[in-house]
Amino acid sequence: MKLALGFNPVLSAEESARVASQAENLGYDSIWMHESLYQRDVVTCIAAMAEATSRIRIGSGVINTFTRHPVAAAATFATLAELSHGRIVLGVGLGSFPTIPLIGYGIFPVEKTRPLVRIAEYVKVVKSVWKGEKVEFDGEFFQVHNLSLGFKATNAIPIFIASLSPKTQAYAATVADGVILSPALSTVGVTARMVRNVAEGESKRGRSVERASYMMTSVDPNRELAIQAVRSFYFFLYQLAEVVPSETLHGYGVTEEKLLPMKEAWKRGDISQAGRLVPYEAIEALTITGSTDHAVDRVKEYTKAGVTLPILMPIGNVSYAMNSLAAAINAQG
């Protein structure tokens, strides 16, 4: 089983480099860094990780299609591929639902914003620039005229597309090297449905792609500490309160009625109380939490559902999770 690691850019570039070096030494397949509009720059962190390592793949997980023009992204990642000697992966997605509207870009309604068209244009421009051709492109969202890259992009750069949309997941499998199915929180059942969407695109293309999925992971020798780390994690609480459809949790015994006290505390701004009121079943359904053995079993549930690259997003006892999970997987061969 291949394992990857994913982080938000809350780490400094120096810390990112240290974590990447540790991940490489532990045998992880790759390390991924989210882009954020209000945290550190993902490209700077990726460059630092590339300089600190020599074997591990390094990916953006993901940059968005609003703040980085595809021509600029193509040049940036071609440069990063030079720096890393071909270990860079360009992960691209529509953009962060909570933050992109704060800088003047609409995401909803999708009938108007046409996210699939935007992503398709973005990928087409990037690929054209990497080919070294003089790009002429007049799309709905991007226009490029009489422009070519001033240096040769000699390293192959895989593209991964992230999306929660069934149509975009199917499309991604026809043009990309990989698909990122989840930004961190997804049940096994929902993940399996997303894998089926990807399979539709794979059948049209005639070959398979990597199916990556972020998995929020909290592993600790003390199970209660692992659970507490999730209960106190702001991103988990936000997703559970405002993003995750409650019906996807029904199979785990979590109903909207059970979530209501937690959501009410969240709306009041009482984050601590919201965390205390989270049903444990929701944590089990959406995250990889508990002992090392339990975490490995949970990851295997996702790989059986069709995930080929689990991207563990460790919180809480991060170093312990990285070391213990790598050791457990390596011991199993």
Instruction: Compute the distance between CA of residue 129 and CA of residue 172 in angstroms, rounded to an integer.
Output: 19
Please check the confidence at residue 327 and state whether its pLDDT lies above 90: yes
For 79-102, the pLDDT digits (tens) are: 999 999 999 999 999 988 788 889
Q: How far is CA 233 from CA 19, 84, 131, 314, in A?
A: 20, 33, 43, 11
The pLDDT score that the predictor gives to residue 120 is 98
Instruction: Compute the distance between CA of residue 94 and CA of residue 100 in angstroms, rounded to an integer.
Output: 9
Band (pLDDT 50/70/90 cuts) for residue 258 is very high
Q: Name the percent of the chain lying above pLDDT 70.
A: 100
Please check the confidence at residue 302 and state whether its pLDDT lies above 90: yes
Instruction: Compute the distance between CA of residue 238 and CA of residue 240 in angstroms, rounded to an integer.
Output: 6
Q: What does the block give as tokens for 188?
A: 């096994």
Domains of the chain: 4-218+288-331 (3.20.20.30)
Please check the confidence at residue 333 and state whether its pLDDT lies above 70: no
The pLDDT score that the predictor gives to residue 283 is 98
Q: What does the block give as tokens for 169?
A: 């997941």
For 119-165, the pLDDT digits (tens) are: 999 999 999 999 998 999 999 999 999 999 999 999 999 999 999 99
Please check the confidence at residue 183 and state whether its pLDDT lies above 90: no
Instruction: Compute the distance between CA of residue 322 and CA of residue 238 in angstroms, rounded to an integer.
Output: 25
The pLDDT score that the predictor gives to residue 254 is 96
- Residue 118, CA atoms < 13 Å, CB-side half-sphere: 22
Work out the angle between the directed axes of helices 292-304 and 188-205 (0-180°, nearest 10).
Answer: 40
62 closest CA partner among 127, 8, 13? 8
The pLDDT score that the predictor gives to residue 109 is 86
The mean pLDDT value of the chain amounts to 95
Please say whether the beta carbons of 187 and 285 come within 8 A: yes
The pLDDT score that the predictor gives to residue 38 is 86
Average pLDDT for 284-308: 97
